[in-house]
Amino acid sequence: MGEPFLMRALFAGLGLAVVAAPLGCFVVWRRMAYYGETVAQAGLIGIAAGLALSLNLTASVLVVTLVVSALLVLLGRQQIVPFDSLLGLLAHAALAVGVIAASLVRGPQIDLMAFLFGDIFAITTTDLQWIYLGGAAALAALMYVWRPLLALSVHEDLAAAEGTATERAKLTFVLVLALVVAIAIKIVGVLLTIAFLIMPAAAARPLSETPEQMALFAAIFGALSVVLGLFLSVSFDTPGGPSIVLVLALFFAAAIFPTVLRGRR
Amino acid sequence: MEGHDAADEPLRQARPGRTQVSHRDHGDFDRDLDHAHHHAGPAVDAPPLAHDAGALISARSLWLTRSGRSILQGVDIDIAPREIVTLIGPNGAGKTTLVRVLLGLEVPDRGSTVRKRGLVVGYVPQRFDVDRAIPLTVARFVELGRRAEDDEIAGVLADVGADKLGDRQFSELSGGELQRVVLARALVRSPDLLVLDEFVRGVDYAGEAELYTLIGRLRSERGFGVLLVSHDLHVVMAQSDRVICLNRHVCCHGVPQSVAQHPEYARLFGPQAARAFGLYHHHHDHRHDLAGEPHPPAADRPDAP
């Protein structure tokens, strides 16, 4: 079990789990799962561009996620097309462009599956640096806006009337989300990144009494899913990212089950 | 629209609040009953465009159009320290929009708003869609208004009669509990101005009276100004120092009775409304607990059939 690639996979997953937990809570609270999905799928364009131009893939994905985030802010100002339709449109346009671009620039051994579902066993030391430095920056930024972001998630007008800098908090959140998506794509791929954000948070919700508790439980679920998922993957030779997501789905099912039985909560 | 039959409510004389509050000189009917400008365009009798320097909030000539609909047409408003101002007007009169402009949530097309330096606002919004996705205790919700110690939070919860709710989940509150808890969050900020948008909506007559009494008492104890938006055209909190009748512009304003007798009020709401105009006073024959149950369950409530 002490193999370097396995240790890198473990540390990558654990690092991401800690950052994804509080961020994922806000994605759930602010109902931005589909928004995040769109940003993540757009990341495929970044991968294609990065491969074509021989850039660091995380950096090129980050550029694309930031551009798409800005685009969504601009497009969100019109109201003729509803925002969720817009997200659906952009997510799939991005996926189409990304897959076509990836097929055009495909080199000798480019595996599209690795970008769609992640390849946690291929994490390099450079990737780990991105995960820990970028993750620390993301976490710090999120801590900084935690209180205003929470207040505006509960009731935006009330928070704004109380003098909360709501626009700054929202902008910070969107930027942090773009950064974490860029970091996560190598690990869990463009199609599973949002799952890794929202599933630990969703599993933590029924057990939590406070927002901070929910973030903490989400981190625990995320970390456990990485450990168990990797174990599953190594034991049964299943793909890493999907194995982690499968464990998270089981966590969620177990956590929500008592609530469903009770009727409502 | 009204939760009770206001036509049965006799027109009572206003009387001073139970506690002595130093009112400003709004009591003078004749002088206070200004005929504000009526229609679009600068009116000849418009007040000078100077802001009231002593006011908590002073707004002049607010104009606002949204989606081609003119909502505010040259509104002037001042709220003085310790003053209770009730804003009434028909649906679509722009009451909530005016409040949003005063709170800085909406930017008017024209006009200016001046706030007292360092003004702290406590706000109770009209709608509160509770989000069950966010786990939140009542105490934590209140604390989102301002960082506060536990005993401070317990204090404001006790002030609004919600002392036992601190550990409850915010998303599990009933409508009446929710109102009081949101009010507690406004209070924990130690506001200079409390803004209540249709605070008593969905509450029956006795519940309304009790909430008004609570607001009046808190105002006396803490000395903040109050801007109260009322959904009810002809029942107004008796402790209001001033009533402002809004229909995109300020139709008329004055102490509670004077507004009811004002021709603009009768023109806007009909003579029947003017006759039915009633005031909440301190005395009422029963109270409601947090569950909304009357104590005692009186059969002779004013709104009883």
Given CA atoms B260, B266, B269, B272 in this order, what sign does their dihedral have?
A: positive
Answer whether residue B232 is part of any domain. yes
How, if at all, do strands B121-124 and B193-197 pair? Answer: parallel
Domain count, chain B: 2
pLDDT at B208: 77
Q: Kindly provide the b/e burial profile for residues B199-210, where b requires at least 16 CB atoms within 10 angstroms of the residue's own CB.
A: bbbebbbbbbbb
Per-residue pLDDT at B289 exceeds 60: no
**Mean pLDDT for the stretch of residues A196-220:** 96
Residues B185 and B158 in one domain: yes
Q: Quick check: B60 and B46 in contact, CB under 8 A?
A: no
Per-residue pLDDT at A192 exceeds 90: yes
B56 touches chain A (CB under 8 A): no
Mutation target among B144, B167, B197 for the A interface, most CBs of A within 10 A: B144
Mean pLDDT value across chain A: 91
Q: Which two tokens stand for residue B241?
A: 């120092």
Length reported for chain B? 305
Q: How far apart are CA B165 and CA B161, in angstroms?
A: 9
Residues B195 and B109 in one domain: yes
Tell me the range of A137-146, B4-13, B128-137 where mean pLDDT is highest: A137-146
What CATH number has the domain bearing residue A212? 1.10.3470.10
Count CA within 13 A, CB hemisphere, residue B273: 20
Residues B185 and B47 in one domain: no
Per-residue pLDDT at B33 exceeds 60: no
Residues B184 and B210 in one domain: no
Domain count, chain A: 1
Please choose, from the candidates A189, A204, A184, A220, the residue with its C-alpha nearest in 3D space to the C-alpha of residue A254. A204
Q: Phi/psi zone of residue A84: left (φ > 0), alpha (ψ -120 to 50 degrees), beta? A: alpha
Note the pLDDT tens digit of each residue in B68-122. Answer: 889 999 999 999 999 999 998 888 888 999 999 999 999 999 999 999 999 999 9
DSSP A22-89: HHHHHHHHTT-HHHHHHHHHHHHHHHHHHHHHT--HHHHHHHHHHHHHHHHHHHTT--SS-HHHHHHH
Which of B103, B132, B134 lies at the smallest CB-CB distance from A211?
B134
Contacts of A28 in chain B (CB under 8 A): 133
Q: How far apart are CA B245 and CA B259, in angstroms?
A: 8
Higher pLDDT pick, B209 / B30: B209
Q: Kindly provide the b/e burial profile for residues B62-92, where b requires at least 16 CB atoms within 10 angstroms of the residue's own CB.
A: bbbeeeeeebbbbbbbbbbebbbbbbbbeee
Residues B169 and B182 in one domain: yes
- Helix, coil or strand: residue A119: coil
Q: How far apart are CA A209 and CA B135, in angstroms?
A: 5
Per-residue pLDDT at B43 exceeds 80: no
**Mean pLDDT for the stretch of residues B293-299:** 44
Per-residue pLDDT at B235 exceeds 70: no
Higher pLDDT pick, B211 / B14: B211
Is there a contact between A28 and B169 if contact means CB atoms under 8 Å apart?
no
Q: Quick check: B84 and B214 in contact, CB under 8 A?
A: no
Per-residue pLDDT at B41 exceeds 60: no
What is the edge-to-edge ordering of all strands in the sheet holding B110-115? Answer: B69-79, B57-66, B110-115
pLDDT at B17: 30
Position A33 confidence tier, pLDDT thresholds 50, 70, 90 = very high
pLDDT at A12: 95
Q: How far apart are CA A155 and CA A73, in angstroms?
A: 20
Residues B128 and B157 in one domain: yes
Higher pLDDT pick, B60 / B297: B60
Per-residue pLDDT at B34 exceeds 50: no
Mean pLDDT value across chain B: 75
Share of chain B above pLDDT 90, in %: 37
pLDDT at B144: 95
pLDDT at B129: 81
Q: CA B177, B182, B183: angle at the middle one, nearest 5? A: 95
Answer whether residue B257 is part of any domain. no
Residues B97 and B125 in one domain: no
Contacts of B116 in chain A (CB under 8 A): none
Please choose, from the candidates B191, B64, B170, B67, the residue with its C-alpha nearest in 3D space to the C-alpha of residue B124. B191
Which of B100, B123, B135 lies at the smallest CB-CB distance from A210?
B135
Is there a contact between B136 and A161 if contact means CB atoms under 8 Å apart?
no
Count CA within 13 A, CB hemisphere, residue A36: 30
> Is the preceding peptide bond at B296 cis, omega within 30 degrees of 0?
yes
Residues B143 and B268 in one domain: no
Enclosing domain of residue A19: 4-262
Q: CA B213, B251, B268: angle at the middle one, nearest 5? A: 90
Residues B136 and B86 in one domain: no
pLDDT at A50: 87
Range scoring the smallest mean pLDDT among A81-85, A196-200, B175-179, B261-265: B261-265
Enclosing domain of residue B278: 1-6+24-116+191-252+263-297
**Mean pLDDT for the stretch of residues A153-176:** 94
Q: Which residue of B has its CA nearest to A31?
A: B133
Residues B94 and B71 in one domain: yes
Position B10 confidence tier, pLDDT thresholds 50, 70, 90 = very low
Answer whether residue B11 is part of any domain. no
Burial of B8 (0-12, 13-18, 19+ CB in 10 A): exposed
pTM for the whole thing? 0.82
Q: How far apart are CA A244 and CA A233, in angstroms?
A: 8
Which of A162, A209, A214 lies at the smallest CB-CB distance from B121?
A162
Q: What are residue B65's DSSP bridge partners?
A: B70
Q: Quick check: B84 and B225 in contact, CB under 8 A?
A: yes
Residues B29 and B82 in one domain: yes
Higher pLDDT pick, B10 / A257: A257
Q: How far apart are CA B152 and CA B156, in angstroms?
A: 6
Residues B152 and B101 in one domain: no
pLDDT at B287: 47
Tell me the range of A196-210, B123-137, B285-299 where mean pLDDT is highest: A196-210
